[in-house]
Structure 1
Amino acid sequence: MCAVLLPSLAGAHPHIFVDTGVELIADDAGRLAQVKVTWAYDDYYSLLIAQDLGIDQDFDGQASDADRETLTGFDMKWIEGFNGDLALRIDGAEVALSRPIAPTADLTGGRIITTHLRDVADTPVLGGAMVEVLPYDATYYTAYDVTLPVRVTGAEACMIETALPDIQGKLAELQDQLQLLDRDTDIADTDLPQPGAAFATRITVQCPGV
């Protein structure tokens, strides 16, 4: 089993690259109400989508009003159960998010940039909580790099930290865990992390309590 899985893990690599930004939005009561996500797709994938949708016919890398209308929502057609490649945790507990709302899309400099909002279930109190945001595709087909702004709106003096993944170190950990399994183990029955989760950038946000 290790002989089969280790090469595939070592060779795991994404096919789509997305620069990502995150905005946490607090309401007037200091509760986390929404998360706004920005995705800026790589040049090649943007070109493929533009060709598929028939936009940017003058090839100037910019969207017309009609192009923006066609683009908006192209990446929001989520199947049931899809988490939007985003995990949100408050004090270590997973928090549910709504399906995407208020999508926008544009093409600028040859890159497609989209945004969407997601409502946060139960609107937890933001002040004094440890908030974790992890943008990732569990299969690692898409790589989300947190290179765009991460901010908090509606709360002040929040501390924001971004921890980049140690990909080589995570691969070594997965290798060590695989070597402990016997040949009859079904990999689906183990608690081994999926590559995307292991390689995710971790955003932590802490805002002062009242």
Structure 2
Amino acid sequence: MKSASRFLMLRAVPLAAFVLGPSLAGAHPHIFAEARLEVKIAPDGTVERLAHVWRFDELFSSSVVMEFDKNGDLKLDEQELETIATTINKSIAEYKYFQTVEADGKPVKMAPPDDLAATFTDNRLLVVFTSKPAEPLKLAPGHKVSFGVYDPTFYTAIDYMQDADLVVQGLPKGCKTSVVRPDPDEALAQNQSTLTEAFFNDPAGTDMSKIFATRLEIKCDA
């Protein structure tokens, strides 16, 4: 199966092969994307929106062109790009658009994006979309919110190459941001009691894989 279809259809690969060592090395990311996240905070401290940009590797981007270039002109026209965007939107919806948003450690439900688009820049596929919390999420003193992305199937490695790729606009006075990049060994040790056999063997992936994801945290003074 072509790599483009493999991403778009999201046939899962067990995460165990990555975290349990060389004997299971067959399961590892096959697609790589550089991410950028911009969190917009409204004047009243409410999280207004999250703007995502994913820039995919050249090999995968080339496979997308080969697969979706229906007229054979070696480029993607507007209609073909719309087809890609629609396919991706449908495919990752069940995975919460690879987003992880938490308030004081509890998941925050996000409204589905209505503007997901695909384009090509410098021969690399760009996927862009915005999202917002389904219910108002307000920064408050003494509380913490975090934002990030991850693929629970571990087929796609989406990460922020630099801390500067995580941006906050409108940060309220008294709030501070930090970028957390979990160490895999430490993450496993700290969560050993909650990891189950299903976590390592469920081919569809689980939310527990987010413990490895880079995240942006916002903490406000009490």
TM-score under structure 2 length normalisation: 0.69
Q: Which residue of 1 aligns with 2:176?
A: 159
| Distance in 1 between residues matched to 2:93 and 2:85, nearest whole Å | 20
Q: Which residue of 2 aligns with 1:47?
A: 62
Decide whether the 8 Å contact of 1:71 with 1:106 is kept in 2: no
Query: Is residue 17 of structure 1 aligned with residue 28 of structure 2?
Result: no
Q: How many Å apart are 1:63 and its aligned residue?
A: 5.9
Q: Which residue of 1 aligns with 2:112?
A: 99
| Distance in 2 between residues matched to 1:156 and 1:199, nearest whole Å | 28
Decide whether the 8 Å contact of 1:50 with 1:56 is kept in 2: no
Decide whether the 8 Å contact of 1:20 with 1:147 is kept in 2: yes
* Equivalent position amino acid for 2:146 in 1: E
Higher helix share: 2
* Partner SS for 2:90: coil
| Distance in 1 between residues matched to 2:192 and 2:82, nearest whole Å | 48
| Distance in 2 between residues matched to 1:133 and 1:103, nearest whole Å | 18
- Cα distance change of structure 1 residues 24 and 177 upon mapping to structure 2, 3 Å threshold: closer
2:213 aligned residue (186, 191, 200): 200
| Distance in 1 between residues matched to 2:95 and 2:18, nearest whole Å | 28
Aligned-pair Cα RMSD in Å: 3.7
Decide whether the 8 Å contact of 1:18 with 1:39 is kept in 2: yes
Decide whether the 8 Å contact of 1:19 with 1:145 is kept in 2: yes
* Partner SS for 1:138: coil
Q: How many Å apart are 1:165 and its aligned residue?
A: 2.9
| Distance in 2 between residues matched to 1:121 and 1:170, nearest whole Å | 29
Q: Which residue of 2 aligns with 1:122?
A: 135
Residues paired across the two proteins, number: 194
* 5+ residue gaps, structure 1: none
Q: Which residue of 2 aligns with 1:137?
A: 151
Decide whether the 8 Å contact of 1:43 with 1:111 is kept in 2: yes
* 5+ residue gaps, structure 2: 1-15
- Cα distance change of structure 1 residues 109 and 27 upon mapping to structure 2, 3 Å threshold: same
| Distance in 1 between residues matched to 2:80 and 2:17, nearest whole Å | 44
